[in-house]
Structure 1
Amino acid sequence: MARALTSIEPLLPVIRRRPLGLLSDIDGTLSPIVARPEDAAVPDAIREALRRLAARGVKVALITGRSLDTARRMVGLDDVAYAADPGLTVWLARRREAAAGMGEYEAPDRPAEGDLQGLSQTVPGVQLENKGALLAVHYRRAEGPGAREAILEALGRSQAAQRFRVQEGRMMVELRPPLRADKGTAMEMLIAHLGLQGAICLGDDITDIDMFAALRQQRAEGLAGAAVAVVSKEAAPEVEQAADYTVEGPEGVEWLLTEMVRALP
Structure 2
Amino acid sequence: MQGQLKELSETINLPSLGEREVLVANASVADNMGNIVYNSSTSPCHSEGSRGYGNTSGIENEALRHLEGNVQGRLVPKEASTLPSALDCLSEFVSKKLLNRKVILFLDYDGTLSPIVDDPDSAFLPEETKVALLKLTQVGIPVAIVSGRARKKIQNFVNIDTLYYAGSHGFDICGPNGYIVPHQVAGEALPVLGKAAEMIEEQIVNKFPGSSIEDNILSKTLHYRRCPPSVVPELERKLDDILQRFPQLHKTYGKCVFEIRPKINWDKGKAVEWLLSELAMDSPDVVPIYIGDDRTDEDAFRVVVERGVAIIVAEDSRYATFANFRLKDPFEVRNFLVKFWASILDIMEKGNNWDKLADGK
Aligned AA (2:320):
E
Sequence identity (%): 26
**1:29-51 superposed Cα distances (whole Å, 9 cap, x missing partner):** 00000001111011111111000
Distance (whole Å) between structure 2 residues aligned to residue 213 and residue 169 of structure 1: 17
Equivalent of residue 222 in structure 2, options 118, 134, 137: 137
Kept in 1, the 8 Å contact 2:150–2:215? The answer is no
Tell me what 1:205 maps to: 294
Q: TM-score, normalised by structure 2?
A: 0.67
The 5 Å alignment of 1:64-143 reads 64-92=147-175, 93-117=177-201, 118-143=203-228
Q: Helix, strand or coil for the counterpart of 2:234?
A: helix
Distance (whole Å) between structure 1 residues aligned to residue 164 and residue 213 of structure 2: 27
Kept in 1, the 8 Å contact 2:142–2:163? The answer is yes
**Closer/same/farther in 2, CA of residues 236 and 32 from structure 1, 3 Å limit:** farther
Aligned AA (2:196):
A
Tell me what 1:238 maps to: 320
Kept in 2, the 8 Å contact 1:25–1:208? The answer is yes
Kept in 2, the 8 Å contact 1:29–1:249? The answer is yes
Distance (whole Å) between structure 2 residues aligned to residue 152 and residue 35 of structure 1: 19
Comparing 89-98 with 116-125, greater Cα deviation is found at 116-125
**Closer/same/farther in 2, CA of residues 64 and 255 from structure 1, 3 Å limit:** same
Q: Helix, strand or coil for the counterpart of 2:320?
A: helix
Alpha-carbon shift at residue 160 of structure 1 (Å) = 4.4
Distance (whole Å) between structure 1 residues aligned to residue 238 and residue 324 of structure 2: 37
Kept in 2, the 8 Å contact 1:231–1:246? The answer is yes
Kept in 2, the 8 Å contact 1:128–1:136? The answer is yes
**Closer/same/farther in 2, CA of residues 76 and 236 from structure 1, 3 Å limit:** farther
Aligned AA (2:297):
D
Establish whether residue 4 from structure 1 lines up as the match of residue 88 from structure 2: no
Alpha-carbon shift at residue 155 of structure 1 (Å) = 2.3
Comparing 123-132 with 155-164, greater Cα deviation is found at 155-164
Equivalent of residue 107 in structure 2, options 16, 19, 24: 24
**1:181-214 superposed Cα distances (whole Å, 9 cap, x missing partner):** 1011111111222233112110101111111101
Q: Helix, strand or coil for the counterpart of 1:28?
A: coil
Alpha-carbon shift at residue 144 of structure 1 (Å) = 4.2
Equivalent of residue 34 in structure 1, options 117, 121, 144: 117
**1:104-133 superposed Cα distances (whole Å, 9 cap, x missing partner):** 112331211121123234321011112222
Q: Helix, strand or coil for the counterpart of 1:207?
A: helix
Distance (whole Å) between structure 2 residues aligned to residue 18 and residue 47 of structure 1: 25
Alpha-carbon shift at residue 175 of structure 1 (Å) = 0.7
Tell me what 1:255 maps to: 335
Distance (whole Å) between structure 2 residues aligned to residue 256 and residue 182 of structure 1: 26
Q: Helix, strand or coil for the counterpart of 1:262?
A: helix
**Closer/same/farther in 2, CA of residues 120 and 155 from structure 1, 3 Å limit:** closer
Aligned AA (2:252):
Q
Unmatched 5+ stretches in structure 1: 220-224
**Closer/same/farther in 2, CA of residues 244 and 17 from structure 1, 3 Å limit:** farther
Alpha-carbon shift at residue 74 of structure 1 (Å) = 1.1
**1:16-41 superposed Cα distances (whole Å, 9 cap, x missing partner):** 24431111111100000000111101
Distance (whole Å) between structure 1 residues aligned to residue 205 and residue 239 of structure 2: 14
The 5 Å alignment of 1:34-53 reads 34-53=117-136
Q: TM-score, normalised by structure 1?
A: 0.90
**Closer/same/farther in 2, CA of residues 161 and 124 from structure 1, 3 Å limit:** farther
Q: Which has the larger strand fraction?
A: 1
Establish whether residue 166 from structure 1 lines up as the match of residue 254 from structure 2: no
Aligned AA (2:85):
A
Kept in 1, the 8 Å contact 2:108–2:291? The answer is yes
Aligned AA (2:239):
L
Give the length in aligned residue pairs. Answer: 255
Kept in 2, the 8 Å contact 1:21–1:59? The answer is yes
Q: Helix, strand or coil for the counterpart of 2:113?
A: coil
Distance (whole Å) between structure 2 residues aligned to residue 47 and residue 14 of structure 1: 26
Comparing 124-133 with 166-175, greater Cα deviation is found at 124-133
Kept in 2, the 8 Å contact 1:29–1:204? The answer is yes
Q: Helix, strand or coil for the counterpart of 1:168?
A: strand
Comparing 86-95 with 42-51, greater Cα deviation is found at 86-95
- Over aligned residues, Cα RMSD in angstroms? 1.8
Q: Helix, strand or coil for the counterpart of 1:146?
A: helix
